[in-house]
């Protein structure tokens, strides 16, 4: 049988092709592309939700403000449901009441009404949350400035004030329109009391 002779170097070339071909195929092979996630944001949140995600879930819904024309109003405590006895009136008693009324009227623009037999000038409050007062002639020519506190029982309030060192100046007095009293505190300041109406 005839033996085929190979040219010198042919065996080496053949072996080189066999060795390099698999390497070429291996390196040239492309990896399959990964499919993009359908919703990466949602997938990420379900895997490991951050603090912001948890806060948004736990946050309570906002309350809507009352619609226009709504009858809902803020609750205002009734006049008699005070937390403590309130100051309800102030008073300036002057030697020359008309002159004092003119002074304060010019100064603050107060509309003072003294059209009454007592010549007592009533000063209306300046608005919600403010209190009115009065400017009248000083008794016994002794001018003073004072304020009045509303209490349910003037007798009990005077007794309590005296037990704390005060002295009664005017006992419980019914003036027709109002029931009042006056006392001096331990330092001599004049303070008035007005009794709450039964209604």
Q: Mark out the alpha helices in 49-184 (DSSP H runs).
A: 51-58, 97-108, 154-163
Q: Give the separation between CA 93 and CA 120, rounded to whole angstroms.
A: 9
Q: Mark out the alpha helices in 59-199 (DSSP H runs).
A: 97-108, 154-163
Using one digit for the tens of pLDDT, what is the confidence trace for 88-147? 999 999 999 999 999 999 999 999 999 999 899 999 999 998 999 999 999 999 999 999
Mean pLDDT over the full length of the chain: 75
Q: Report domain extents, the chain.
A: 87-195
User: What is the pTM for the complete model shown?
Assistant: 0.58
Q: Give the separation between CA 180 and CA 169, rounded to whole angstroms.
A: 11
25 pLDDT higher than 60: no
Q: Give the separation between CA 120 and CA 107, rounded to whole angstroms.
A: 19
* Domain 87-195 of CATH type 3.10.180.10: yes
């Amino acid at each position: 049988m005839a033996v085929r002779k190979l040219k010198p170097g042919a065996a080496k070339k053949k072996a080189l092709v066999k060795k390099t071909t698999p390497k070429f195929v291996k390196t040239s092979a492309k990896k399959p592309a990964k499919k993009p996630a359908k919703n990466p944001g949602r997938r990420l949140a379900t895997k490991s939700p951050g603090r912001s995600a948890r806060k948004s879930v736990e946050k309570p819904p906002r309350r809507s403000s009352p619609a226009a024309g709504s009858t809902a109003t803020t609750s205002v405590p009734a006049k008699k449901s005070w937390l403590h006895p309130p100051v309800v009136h102030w008073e300036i008693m002057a030697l020359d009441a008309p002159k004092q009324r003119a002074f304060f009227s010019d100064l603050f623009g107060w509309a003072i009404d003294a059209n009454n037999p007592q010549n007592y000038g009533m000063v209306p409050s300046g608005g919600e949350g403010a209190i009115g007062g009065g400017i009248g002639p000083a008794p016994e020519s002794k001018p003073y400035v004072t304020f009045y506190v509303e209490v349910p029982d003037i007798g009990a309030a005077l007794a309590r004030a005296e037990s704390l060192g005060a002295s009664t100046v005017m006992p419980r007095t019914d003036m027709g329109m109002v029931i009042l009293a006056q006392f001096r505190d331990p330092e001599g300041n004049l303070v008035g009391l007005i009794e709450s109406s039964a209604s």
